Amino acid sequence: MLAVGLVGFALSVLLAVAANSRFADLERLPMQWGLSGQVNWTAPRVLGLAFVPVLYAVLAGIFIWAAEHDPEKYTAKSVGIVLIALIAVQILHLWMIDRYRLKLLK
């Protein structure tokens, strides 16, 4: 399970590094949008892109530890689903940032 967690972490870091070059023209990245589509707050680009890989590492560590200590409650399947969902959320966030950037360029 540790190997899968490390692969997921590497994927998260790779997404962040690729996004850093893609969004190099933006000093700050939107981190949250309201229901109207307006950006609620932004973060410096490096901090905004580093957030999910750091969160992934923390959550993966906690879930892998929990799965080793209570495998009946925290199965490899449930841990995998959570970690895959986190990567999906990161991809969604990067897509939304890209839409925001394209709107600024118009």
As a whole-number percent, the residues of the chain with pLDDT over 70 amount to 100
Tokens of 45: 């680009």
Whole-number average pLDDT of the chain: 93
Residue of higher predicted confidence among 11 and 75? 11
Sorted by where each begins, the domain ranges of the chain are 2-105
State how far the alpha carbon of 43 is from the alpha carbons of 18, 22, 31, 101, in Å: 18, 16, 7, 14
Tell me what pLDDT residue 76 has.
84
Question: Does the pLDDT at position 32 exceed 90?
Answer: yes
Please state whether the predicted TM-score (pTM) of the whole model is above 0.85. yes
pLDDT band, very low/low/confident/very high, at 23 (cuts 50, 70, 90): very high
* H/E stretch holding 24: none
pLDDT band, very low/low/confident/very high, at 5 (cuts 50, 70, 90): confident
Q: What is the pLDDT of residues 61-78, one digit of tens each?
A: 999 899 899 988 888 888
